Each structure stands twice: as C-alpha cells, then as structure tokens.
C-alpha cells in the first residue's frame, strides 16, 4: 500500500493537525493547522495534554503510538498492512479511521469513503472470536480501526438487541468484545460484576454484559467515547486519551512495562496535576479520582496502570476523569501480580487493604492538592455504599464477600 504523507488529523470533522514522518518509520511529527491556532489559544490541550497547541512541530510518536495495539497484536496488524511493527505512521495510515477518542486520521476528508457495518451471524461471530489469536481485532481488508491493549478483542457495532456487526471503512464502533483469558477462568463475569459495582457508586457509565462465543466466555462493554442510538448509529465521537498518552509516557520502555509506575509509568499525582490544570471543576474531578483509587483498592485490581486510566476532553482545553473501564479483581487469581500498578502515598501492598485504607488515600490526595476532610468524606461514603450494595447484587462466586471484606478493612485501616 502506498504511504500517504502527510496524514490529516480530524477532530469532529475539522482538520486541526497534520502528521508527517521524515523517513524514520517510528517517527511522527505533528503540526497544528492555522485554523486550529487561530481558534484556540497557545498551550490548549486540543489533541492531548502532551500536545499543546503551538505553531512549532511536535513529536507525536508516543501519543499516536498509544492508539495502536501492543505486543503480538501490533505485529499481526503490521504484517497485514505490509509495514514494520514499529512504523507508527504506516500503521495509522492503514488503521487510523476509527481509534480511541474522537480523532479520525486519514489523508482524505472524512466522508470521502463512507463507513458501514456488516452484520454478523451467530456462526460468523463464533468464527471471528475463535480466530482472534491469529487475527487480532478481527481485521479484514476493509477494516480501518485500532484500539490499544494486549487482550484479544473485537470492535463491534450494535445493530439491535443482541445483534452485532463488523465496522467497515472506519465506521465508528459502539462496543468492545473482550475474550476471557483461559488461564484465569471466571475473569469475564467478575469484571462485569465490578463494572456493575462501579456504576452503582458513580465511577463508570459503561454497560457491561457477559456472552459466550466459540465456547469462550467474553465480556461486551459499551464504549464511553461514543454516543450512539440503539440501532448502532453513532451520533458523536467523544475525545479521550489514556494517562500514558496525556503524560507522554513511553510504554515500550523497560520491556514494554513503561505503563506501570514502577517502570516510569504514570502516578496518581501526575494525573491529578492534569485535572487540577484543565478540569472545569478541579475539586470535583480530584475527588472523583480519590474515589477511583479507593475503588481500585477495594476490588483488588493490581493492573490499574496508566493505559487503564483515561481523561475525557469534553471541549478543547477542558478535561475530566473518564469512567472506569478496566476493573478486573486480579487478586482473586494468585498467579497474577499483587502489587498496585500505581502507588498510594508510596504504598503498593495491595494484598493488605488495611495498609491502603482511607487515611492512606487521604495522605495521597493531600499532595494533589485536595483537602483531607473532602477526601475522607467522599472515600468513606463510597466504601460504605459498596458495603451496602455488594451483598444485594447477583455477583459471581466469592466476589461480593471479597469486595465487602476489603472495603471493611479499608474503613478500619
């Protein structure tokens, strides 16, 4: 496939930036258009908190790399596109029309090639899921989509109750299907259980359900960065970025462990600084972050790293905390890590919830800065609500008792 150079970056249908590469395949230079610079003040976080508006060319390699899958998945997509796996620009040229957030990356004007959706039969969706290990994201010759992560997953378009379709030519997807790792049975239903709890305590807006395809348990979640109707028509893309993108973190560093704080990844205080700078209601967003920290500890999620925490860009220059979207209670599987991906006031012993209790979270949040009384009240109320609802939900085996015991320990600790 010929390499278009430059690529245009469209946000809500407007051309706001141009991408070029100077021969090095992993290099991506981003330059804001005159239209973007005329409309928005210098140093506005338009595309990203790490790509503030300026007339100077910017190094966009890390942000735009963050739109692509990781590990073997990006290798497979690169082979299909006949480019190198480190060729970020070439991969975006092939798969950049439906990515996380509201950006459309394309040499053409959006609408030049209309997207569509091809409905799956039950049998064809079974086949797609069965082949994900060999064909990540279920990519076809007419697929122009990408999403970050290591887990086997599909991007779907909802076309009615229980009916799913494959997005074609950059058609915005509405849902994500994630396949359960066979090494950790019960993970799908437990993640759905935790998302239901997060929704009750006001930390997510995601609808989640379990399903089984090709005899494999799966989780299907609604995309929080899309507004859509029941028939799958996307009415609006919502811009977002994960914490690694927002902080210009090299996630490929340290043998691809750069998303973890222990290997140079984001810390809660860095995310808090962005909210303090750019949120309309900074106190409200920082309080929400404190509750998210407490919830992550309460469910025992040791994989809440910088790629699993995101910011929403509601309007240019304004950000807020995105809904929680990756809520796996990893401590329920002894072979998985038991150290928090982001420390709380310097502590990371997730297996001991009393050491990461209310007062530890208060100590962490005071450095953001947030008043101790505000944090203490919000976190206690959230944990008490968890205790009240955990036993009333139809949750998977052990999960209700597990979360309730940890919430109780955090309140005491």
Q: Tell me: the pLDDT tens digits for 266-324?
A: 999 999 999 999 999 999 999 999 999 999 999 999 999 999 999 999 999 999 999 99
- Averaged pLDDT for residues 194-222: 97
Task: Judge contact between 160 and 230, C-beta under 8 A.
Answer: yes
Same domain assignment for residues 129 and 265: no
Same domain assignment for residues 178 and 253: no
State in Å, rounded, how far the first CA of the chain is from the last one.
59
CA distances in angstroms from 349 to 75, 269, 331, 343, listed in the order given: 34, 18, 11, 9
Task: Judge contact between 294 and 302, C-beta under 8 A.
Answer: no
State both tokens at 20: 């070029």
Q: Among 80, 106, 132, where does a domain finish?
A: 106
CA dist 310 and 400 (Å) reads: 26
Question: How many structural domains does the chain have?
Answer: 3
Confidence of residue 3 (pLDDT cuts 50, 70, 90): low
Least confident among 70-74, 188-192, 240-244, 363-367:
70-74
Residues 6 or more apart in contact with residue 117 via CB below 8 angstroms? 157, 159, 165, 166, 167, 168, 171, 232
Same domain assignment for residues 197 and 277: no
Same domain assignment for residues 249 and 326: yes
Same domain assignment for residues 279 and 390: yes
Beta bridge partners of 19: 7, 30
Is 2 a domain residue?
no
Give the distance between the most distant pair of CA atoms in the chain. Answer: 62
> How many of the other CB atoms lie within 10 Å of CB of 292?
24
Same domain assignment for residues 331 and 220: no
Portion of the chain with pLDDT greater than 90, in percent: 87
Same domain assignment for residues 294 and 212: no
Confidence of residue 380 (pLDDT cuts 50, 70, 90): very high
Which structural domain range is residue 345 located in? Answer: 238-412
CA dist 368 and 348 (Å) reads: 18
Q: Tell me: the pLDDT tens digits for 241-255?
A: 999 999 999 999 998
Q: Tell me: the pLDDT tens digits for 73-109?
A: 999 999 999 999 999 999 999 999 999 999 999 987 7
Same domain assignment for residues 368 and 392: yes
Q: Which residue has the higher pLDDT, 373 or 236?
A: 373
Model's pTM, two decimal places? 0.95
Is 258 a domain residue?
yes
Q: Tell me: the pLDDT tens digits for 308-319?
A: 999 999 999 999
């Amino acid at each position: 496939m010929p390499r278009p150079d430059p690529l245009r970056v469209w946000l809500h249908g407007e051309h706001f930036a141009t991408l070029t590469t100077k021969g090095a395949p992993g290099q991506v230079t981003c330059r804001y258009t005159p239209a973007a610079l005329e409309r928005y003040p210098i140093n506005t976080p338009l595309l990203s908190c790490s790509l503030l508006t300026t007339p100077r060319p910017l190094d966009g390699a890390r942000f735009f790399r963050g739109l692509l899958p990781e590990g073997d998945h990006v290798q497979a997509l690169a082979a299909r596109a006949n480019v190198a796996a480190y060729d970020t620009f070439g991969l975006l040229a092939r798969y950049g029309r439906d990515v996380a957030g509201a950006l459309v990356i394309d040499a053409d004007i959006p609408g030049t090639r209309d997207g569509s959706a091809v409905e799956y039969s039950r049998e064809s969706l079974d086949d797609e899921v069965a082949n994900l290990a060999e064909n990540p994201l279920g990519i076809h010759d007419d697929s122009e989509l990408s999403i970050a992560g290591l887990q086997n997953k599909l991007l779907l378009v909802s076309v009615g109750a229980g009916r799913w379709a494959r997005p074609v030519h950059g058609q915005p997807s509405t849902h994500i299907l994630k396949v359960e790792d066979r090494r950790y049975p019960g993970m799908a239903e437990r993640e759905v259980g935790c998302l239901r709890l997060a929704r009750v305590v006001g930390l997510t807006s995601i609808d989640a359900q379990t399903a089984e395809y090709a005899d494999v348990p799966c989780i299907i979640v609604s995309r929080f960065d899309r507004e859509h109707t029941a028939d799958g028509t996307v009415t609006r893309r919502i811009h977002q970025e994960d914490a690694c993108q927002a902080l210009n973190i090299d996630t490929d560093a340290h043998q691809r462990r750069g998303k973890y704080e222990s290997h140079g990844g984001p810390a809660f205080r860095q995310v808090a600084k962005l909210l303090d700078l750019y949120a309309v209601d900074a106190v409200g967003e920082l309080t929400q972050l404190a509750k998210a920290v407490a919830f992550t500890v309460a469910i025992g999620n040791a994989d809440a790293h910088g790629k699993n925490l995101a910011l929403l860009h509601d309007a240019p220059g304004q950000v807020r905390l995105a809904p929680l979207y990756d809520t796996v209670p990893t401590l329920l599987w002894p072979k998985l890590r038991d150290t928090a991906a982001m420390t709380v006031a310097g502590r990371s012993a997730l297996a001991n919830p009393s050491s990461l209790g209310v007062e530890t979270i208060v100590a962490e949040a005071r450095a953001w800065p947030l008043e101790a009384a505000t944090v203490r009240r919000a976190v206690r109320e959230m944990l008490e609500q968890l205790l009240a609802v955990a036993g009333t939900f139809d949750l998977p085996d052990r999960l209700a008792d597990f979360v309730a015991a940890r919430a109780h320990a955090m309140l005491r600790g």
